[in-house]
Structure 1
């Protein structure tokens, strides 16, 4: 593989020599983009003419580009802000400080304008940037727009199912996506079993989904990175916002506390229990549900070169079935960042992060009272550097250390329960990483990005490692010995190099060809018998039997953005080779199982596909169409028949959804009125189907052939919304929306089951979570 990378680099160099033409002296044009208070504008676009060169500001609002000597017009654009244009005479290395002003929204404006999702001139591919202002126009479920649901409308992404917060990216499982909030990992991003996500749209700035060509800066997951950023406080005055829908209410406040200190504070609460009482079923009537969450972000500007940023999030969820079970889960996230600028060429960000996820299941049925607790505690410290000092190079490098402490399960009976208490050992591990990534402009047309990430994982005690008899399937009865490791003692180590490479060749000023390769490693995964992430799932670290997951991905693509930014088009083909993929034995016991590795099977997999996206950014009608055709397969071939799936042949993975079509449109009916629609179509999820029944000791059992050989019905849904700005531009603004989720009442299957009737073949039945149109209204006030 490394020879292949070296050969690729040599070919890239030869190409650059062939296309490079004589140039005059080149200089570095760098700078920063911020609002009037100095808050960085992440993703702001800097357009440079002549040459139609476009660069995007990084997470610190900084940019850098190499240009020949000459005079240029530099224009900076950011959604919701007044474009800034300045002329630069480039005779030496030059640094700009671009400060944008908020757009006067009292001006009547008919056309809707959105930012481009792609950067034609960079080596980045497989990444989609989304501005939250566009998110607010999308149809909402129960009156709340949602980041996770909008991500599922992008190429290569499929929702895990109705009423779930998980999503699949390019044939990977939901836990193979690293979901971030201000650089802090989120281990359960759902409220109310997935009907809401943890992201409050009123205080978000932007979010980016990385699917391929991922920078060496990112790691720890093998499918995708969802990087969500909260906004910073504004500089001019304090802003207040509140909203209400049929099942939730929210508020937010953001602005300056002092000339150097700004705040963002927000809270939400949901109260759907009264709606449950409207159902005819007594079980649903007597159920109850709730959630609440809060965000706090402080940004302190010490001086022109130093700033501190504190970001935090807290949430509580609860759901109660009337006679037997209650569920409670919570998220506690926090990060502290120090941003420092050493010079115009060098900057750094030091981050300390904490993420705690706790889950509790309580049994309340008489004779079966219990409390079952589980969770994960994650701590990380890292430093990231950016260097622009070498001609035609943009270098990022850094490293960090993270600690995982997982409580897989603690069962505590009480009352009249006859259950036995049980506590599984905590799962502890440490992950270290270091990386360097260099984006090199070889010529006006050719740029390459070469990076490498090194990761090291250490599994620590306390741990009991069971030794199994050779030649037999692993099971509790085949244990022959136990190795006991004390708390903090080293149990198992894994390490590896993760090379990354990408190349961009500009066909002209508006289009380019791109290709990339990346290797990613993942040392933590979800152990679950469901397709989506749920509150009762348990995270598991790599150990003696569970090796880290590895993905090698190759991608090629084409990107075009029209000069006026009206249209943009992307096409990408990818192939992924997956190693150490986990599946489960038939009848696997996943909960409170001390010999869990005996029910887990490991193998390999492949995923491949083609993605298209056409987007219209300006005009009365805006939106996009995305189409994906893909396959995802697994091969589990163990030493014994009991440890082999599908007779040792490839079978569709649980995440194989070949066809995925999404259409989003936003039409400006009036300067204050917009009509939006979102249509989704995906192939049905694979499932194991029963073809016959048999009796064993008087009991009837279903007989299943193969693994995932059949499919659920195809999924499709249409959502619409009408959005109205009542008093835009006034001191007090009102906005409202009317949404209908699942307009034509499609009863999409969430799961299927088989029922046996004597003398009849097995009958398949589907369970639909949402089988009717769901209207909702939402009213927001801002002042």
Structure 2
């Protein structure tokens, strides 16, 4: 369906429902307010329940909330992690502005259970979004003793993991590089530690994270599949606190507290020593390998006055991994965010953010006669301005701008020792991305609301660079280059730009149920060049240029949402359709590393994805948890101008990320006081692979015959993890907590990849490679004081 037709239908639906509701609705008033901490800091993500009516609302990044209510007396219950619950009565006889101030929870009193934020929010226009906090994350079963953000994300609707031992994930038929992964607003280009067994997020200092799959606000841009927005907590403002954590292969330490009445800080460090554990894996390559990682976070928050706050969040990590005999891998992440928050008045606030993200990678060959170092990396500098305005009745405006500068080093080969290799260096890849946006959350009636937004983005590919011109009507290859265009430093090589409209509508059927519909267009000017399903250290990021157009996605989604009485149960059902343009695939036998004519090995086409997602969550009682079921399909169509630039005869074929069935069951059972038993079961359809269906001999050699791209599948994936969690025990000044968990309880040998084994005189036989084929027990202990 054309985008204009979709937009017209959505608008007609909104106005028709609005006119009907307005004619029958009684007079309503606007209740707005701000949620603050005891020291005046504005609290994002506070959950408020307003009764009667059970209206639920969340505070935004400025701590603001707004809701339309009929005249009368209401009780507001406000919750925020780490804060004592607050109840306040408000009498509404006209538009009213209130301020809610929360205090720290007093754990010396009788224990108070602060419930987690519901997964299903029936009262907002937001859809395709999932929220988890640090408390829930730490209860989930752990691999090697460490709770992990990215592993838990794959338990949510519409998300599948990239494979055993990887931290990449696929969302609604998109590739791993189509997800924007943030740490305190800084993009992360490689989220792996130890090839995915750990991620870059230290769970001890995590505040919360939210995954946006659809209904994405115009505030976000740069990726076409999803946004994973991860926030780290600030240092506490009361006293210095210390935390030590130990697991079988890692140790961590954190400290946070006030340096003055206006300045707080947080520092955390992790290190891993997995050598002896790797000896237990069945795979010979892993058994004889070695690896390590370390990372550290540093965060400051300084309150200048009641209207100005400055904060800094920094991160650095280093990884090393060595395969037997021949290759070592090293990579580093350095992130920095400097943020200034300013309150112009109660209705107008703004945030200015400077971002730095620097990723470097080094692959080193150590075999005799083949010694080399292969260096690559990416550097991003970014400035973001975000504003929020609440002065209009029934409107909440968010607007701002963003400017980014990319510098990519795609590869530099440096031979040394007795190596016979020749040095080689590819030219750097440079570009600028700029954007502006406006988003308006509009409350039309008590039952009908909408969020409409528009983002305009522009990308400029910048020199110095050489661009090859290929013969018209012939396949791109180095033998078909007819000219070379040279561009000087700062000269614009290619410009792309376009609008990214976003719209979502919510209609409340009752106080507990709602229907939502949304449309979004997203653009992406950077892509990961990789012919593997999972992200690896040797992959290369590439900017759009004359030959590589930006990726574009249009998505339409429809959902039904329900929250039971007293929020005991949540249920959501969403269906979606996504059309993708300028998708990247590869020629057979493509050369991706150190290829000066990389575009000649790339193929471009369209994609489509569709699916249905169900989630049922139980929030209260002795047994809590959720069941998530997704049915989805993802296809690509590559129909080039020549046969060499066409895949599967120009017909649609399953993408690398096509896993039709994805089932996740998570349970959290309160065995007895302070003890909880959790379990997580995962089942997914095996991902597509290109496999040989026959073999033939030619001049004494065996050659494979392939029937088509991605026409076979790996075996289905399933796994059960369990954990026994001991919640906090307080003895003197110290607080103890711990868990015992078993990853892959019944020892499923899930296939990581399919390989072929050759025997002389016989056709090759296929076999599957399992990275983790055994139960992995682990124990971890955390001490706070």
- TM-score normalised over the length of structure 2: 0.97
Q: Which residue of 1 aligns with 2:677?
A: 675
- Change in CA separation of 1:283 and 1:773 when aligned onto 2, cut-off 3 Å: closer
Q: List per-residue Cα deviations over 1:569-601 (Å, max 9, x = no partner).
A: 000000000100110000000000000000000
Q: List per-residue Cα deviations over 1:216-265 (Å, max 9, x = no partner).
A: 11110000000000001222212111101110000111221111111111
Q: List per-residue Cα deviations over 1:127-184 (Å, max 9, x = no partner).
A: 0111110000000000000000000000000000001010000010000000000111
Q: List per-residue Cα deviations over 1:267-321 (Å, max 9, x = no partner).
A: 0000112334567998656532110000011111111111111111000000122
**Alpha-carbon contact 2:282-2:773 (below 8 Å) kept:** no
2:633 aligned counterpart, secondary structure: strand
Match of 2:381 among 370, 379, 382: 379
* 1:319 partnered with 2:325: no
Q: Which residue of 1 aligns with 2:205?
A: 203
Q: Which residue of 2 aligns with 1:356?
A: 358
* 1:575 partnered with 2:577: yes
Q: Which residue of 1 aligns with 2:528?
A: 526
Q: In 2, distance between residues paired with 1:357 and 1:567?
A: 43
Q: List per-residue Cα deviations over 1:43-76 (Å, max 9, x = no partner).
A: 1111222332221011232212233444322221
**Alpha-carbon contact 2:27-2:70 (below 8 Å) kept:** yes
Q: In 2, distance between residues paired with 1:578 and 1:152?
A: 22
Match of 1:503 among 491, 505, 526: 505
Q: In 2, distance between residues paired with 1:730 and 1:12?
A: 59
Q: List per-residue Cα deviations over 1:463-507 (Å, max 9, x = no partner).
A: 111111112111011111100111211000000000001100001
- Change in CA separation of 1:761 and 1:561 when aligned onto 2, cut-off 3 Å: same
**Alpha-carbon contact 1:106-1:728 (below 8 Å) kept:** no
Q: Which residue of 2 aligns with 1:46?
A: 48
1:702 aligned counterpart, secondary structure: strand
> Which stretch of the first structure deviates more once superposed, 565-574 or 757-766?
757-766
Q: In 2, distance between residues paired with 1:467 and 1:35?
A: 60
Q: Which residue of 2 aligns with 1:748?
A: 750
Q: In 2, distance between residues paired with 1:589 and 1:36?
A: 59
Match of 1:562 among 564, 568, 573: 564
Residue pairs, 1:207-226, within 5 angstroms: 207-226=209-228
1:745 aligned counterpart, secondary structure: coil
Match of 2:134 among 132, 135, 141: 132
- Change in CA separation of 1:104 and 1:372 when aligned onto 2, cut-off 3 Å: same
- Change in CA separation of 1:499 and 1:377 when aligned onto 2, cut-off 3 Å: same
Q: Which residue of 1 aligns with 2:586?
A: 584
Residue pairs, 1:216-365, within 5 angstroms: 216-276=218-278, 287-365=289-367
- Change in CA separation of 1:275 and 1:8 when aligned onto 2, cut-off 3 Å: closer
Task: Give the superposed CA RMSD.
Answer: 1.8
Q: In 2, distance between residues paired with 1:53 and 1:729?
A: 40
**Alpha-carbon contact 1:111-1:618 (below 8 Å) kept:** no
- Change in CA separation of 1:781 and 1:551 when aligned onto 2, cut-off 3 Å: same
Match of 1:704 among 703, 706, 714: 706
**Alpha-carbon contact 1:112-1:622 (below 8 Å) kept:** no
Residue pairs, 1:331-730, within 5 angstroms: 331-725=333-727, 727-728=729-730, 730=732
Q: In 2, distance between residues paired with 1:277 and 1:705?
A: 39
**Alpha-carbon contact 1:36-1:235 (below 8 Å) kept:** no
Q: In 2, distance between residues paired with 1:42 and 1:283?
A: 46
1:136 aligned counterpart, secondary structure: helix
2:136 aligned counterpart, secondary structure: helix
2:195 aligned counterpart, secondary structure: helix
Q: In 2, distance between residues paired with 1:344 and 1:529?
A: 51
**Alpha-carbon contact 2:158-2:172 (below 8 Å) kept:** yes
> Which stretch of the first structure deviates more once superposed, 341-350 or 89-98?
89-98
> Which stretch of the first structure deviates more once superposed, 179-188 or 729-738?
729-738
Displacement, 1:674? 0.6
**Alpha-carbon contact 1:690-1:762 (below 8 Å) kept:** no
Tell me how many residue pairs correspond in the alignment.
Answer: 783
> Which stretch of the first structure deviates more once superposed, 722-731 or 211-220?
722-731
Q: In 2, distance between residues paired with 1:753 and 1:13?
A: 57
**Alpha-carbon contact 1:111-1:619 (below 8 Å) kept:** no
Q: In 2, distance between residues paired with 1:157 and 1:284?
A: 27
Q: Which residue of 1 aligns with 2:66?
A: 64
- TM-score normalised over the length of structure 1: 0.97
Displacement, 1:712? 0.3
1:727 aligned counterpart, secondary structure: strand
Q: In 2, distance between residues paired with 1:553 and 1:326?
A: 41
Could you tell me which runs of 5 or more consecutive residues in structure 1 were left unpaired when the two chains were aligned.
Answer: none
Q: In 1, distance between residues paired with 2:111 and 2:670?
A: 10
1:14 aligned counterpart, secondary structure: helix
* 1:167 partnered with 2:169: yes
Q: Which residue of 1 aligns with 2:18?
A: 16
Q: In 2, distance between residues paired with 1:258 and 1:285?
A: 50
* 1:144 partnered with 2:152: no
Displacement, 1:760? 5.8
Q: In 2, distance between residues paired with 1:86 and 1:730?
A: 34
- Change in CA separation of 1:777 and 1:528 when aligned onto 2, cut-off 3 Å: same
Match of 2:194 among 181, 192, 195: 192
**Alpha-carbon contact 2:79-2:114 (below 8 Å) kept:** no
- Change in CA separation of 1:435 and 1:525 when aligned onto 2, cut-off 3 Å: same
Displacement, 1:636? 0.2
2:537 aligned counterpart, secondary structure: coil
> Which stretch of the first structure deviates more once superposed, 513-522 or 60-69?
60-69
- Change in CA separation of 1:279 and 1:137 when aligned onto 2, cut-off 3 Å: closer
**Alpha-carbon contact 2:307-2:344 (below 8 Å) kept:** yes
**Alpha-carbon contact 1:651-1:707 (below 8 Å) kept:** yes
